[in-house]
Structure 1
Amino acid sequence: MTALLQVQNISKSFGGVQAVRDVSLTLQAGELLALIGPNGAGKSTTFNMVGGQLTPDRGSVRLHGNNIAGLAPRAIWRQGVGRTFQIAQTFASLTVVENVQMALLSHDRRIFQWWPRAAAHRRSDALALLDQVGMAAQADRPCSELAYGDVKRVELAMALAPNPQLLLMDEPTAGMAPGERVALMQLTRQLAQQRHMGVLFTEHSMDVVFGQADRVAVLVRGQLLAEGTPQQVRDDARVQQAYLGTGLVLEKSQ
């Protein structure tokens, strides 16, 4: 069976610095793959080559067999790739449901025709998405009034607006309390399975990585050091050595 996402030998240099060298990854539909590594390991560069923010110097990024490497982020989004960001990207002055409606307007190519009918545009669909992330009861509240964990759920609903096959999550739990982190990623896992959607995420929180990911890929100095189940990666001596002195402890999630 062909993988949902196939990243093959992608590389990227900035001047004389090789940030990523010949990295290959695969991701199946319904699976959560965590991309981790020490600071400067090449995680963000790899992630942004998949999402279209950067173009690989060489290699390919295939979604259902189609090479999307080098496409603009908007074009990749229209291919069925959703994304959330380390700092949540929502419109604070709009209500919760209006934020999701804006995502639907963009998906429907009506973003420049939004006034004055935006408030009515696919409201039922927006509410259904909010219900999936547990935010329907707060649909008419301004985003500016929400707790940060709830803002992240709204952003997740927005990312689901185009019904993506692949969801990219950049540090999804950054700035969240431990309980909120686990709850958000458990929700993400549930949605991935329900929607048959692959999820690639970067993360510094090891409790999230080893508690929620199906597989873990470890980058060190721009190269893929190890890949496997959380248990396989946790037990890998090379991974343990790479993290020595960073303050990270690869322990089992409780």
Structure 2
Amino acid sequence: MSAALPLLQVSGLRKAFGGVQAVDGVDFALAPGEMLALIGPNGAGKSTTFNMVGGQLRPDAGAIRLAGVDIAGLPPRAIWRQGVGRTFQIAETFASLTVVENVQMALLSADRRLFSFWPRAQDHRRADALALLAQVGMQAQAQRPCSTLAYGDVKRVELAMALAHAPRLLLMDEPTAGMAPAERLALMALTRQLARERAMGVLFTEHSMDVVFAHADRVMVLARGRLLAQGTPQAIRDNAQVQQVYLGSGSMSGTAPAPVGMA
């Protein structure tokens, strides 16, 4: 971690649902260009933490500072305007539109023109959309409808859409869910490259330990709403407490089972 101001600084984050303390005093930081994985067993508080950073949930207490500005409690759209992009566990694209039109729609939104004059997506910043598709390896398929793509390619289109407003921070919720092993490693290698090139911080949740250990710069592990450990992938792999937490819920060298209930 650089001595400079972190891109993202989370401190004292708390959230309860009824009598259940889902997140209890979580602190962490993320530097520009860094890939930070958020992992933990079922019920650890991963999704709750992740959704508080993205604005889907309002914290009960704590601060979430993006480049020094507290964004805790802001709605998702306001957080997006602050320079936070997001991809979802189930990729969200417009199936009836072409690949390039999907990215053009994202550019229209970034330019605050999505609902002005009802513009045609195909006429808006086409060259910029194609450039984004080139960055994710999808330019050759620009004219194909998204409905005809393989799922791994849909995830690449979603990534291009998330990059349309040049985010400083990218949130990726289970980015490789539903993908074959080769596809998921390729997607995260691409994300890592883009993070470095753009000095873009990436916070991601992930159940595939092969992805986490291959591509995260640092890993933080939650258990029962609290931060159990954080460090390099190797330090986390060797951590006795982390190994104990994962016994019975997934291997630290493979893919954990799909989560159930509150995460």
TM-score range, shorter chain: over 0.9
Q: Does the alignment pair 1:249 with 2:262?
A: no
Q: How much is the aligned-residue C-alpha RMSD, in angstroms?
A: 1.1
Q: 2:77 aligns with which of 71, 74, 79?
A: 74
Q: Does the alignment pair 1:226 with 2:232?
A: no
Quick one: distance in 2 between partners of 1:252 and 1:39? 16
TM-score by length of 2: 0.94
8 Å contact kept, 2:208–2:254? no
Q: 2:33 aligns with which of 17, 20, 30?
A: 30
Q: Deviations over 1:159-213 (max 9, x none)?
A: 0000000000000000000000100000000000000000000000000001110
Q: CA deviation at 1:107?
A: 0.9
Alignment of 1:49-198 (within 5 A): 49-113=52-116, 115-198=118-201
Q: CA deviation at 1:252?
A: 8.5
Quick one: distance in 1 between partners of 2:103 and 2:117? 13
Quick one: distance in 1 between partners of 2:100 and 2:176? 22
Give the count of matched residue pairs.
Answer: 252
TM-score by length of 1: 0.97
Q: CA deviation at 1:116?
A: 4.2
Structure 1 outlier segments of 4+, above 4 Å: none
Distance 1:153 1:88, change over 3 A: same
Q: What secondary structure does 2:115 align onto?
A: helix
Quick one: distance in 2 between partners of 1:111 and 1:252? 42
Quick one: distance in 1 between partners of 2:253 and 2:177? 19
Q: Which runs of 5+ in 2 are unaligned?
A: 256-263
Q: Which runs of 5+ in 1 are unaligned?
A: none
Q: In structure 2, what is the equivalent of residue 212 of structure 1?
A: 215
8 Å contact kept, 1:86–1:170? yes
Q: CA deviation at 1:245?
A: 1.0
Q: Deviations over 1:23-54 (max 9, x none)?
A: 01100000000000001110000000000000
8 Å contact kept, 2:83–2:169? yes
Q: What secondary structure does 1:227 align onto?
A: strand
8 Å contact kept, 1:211–1:252? no
Q: Does the alignment pair 1:238 with 2:238?
A: no
Q: What secondary structure does 1:115 align onto?
A: coil
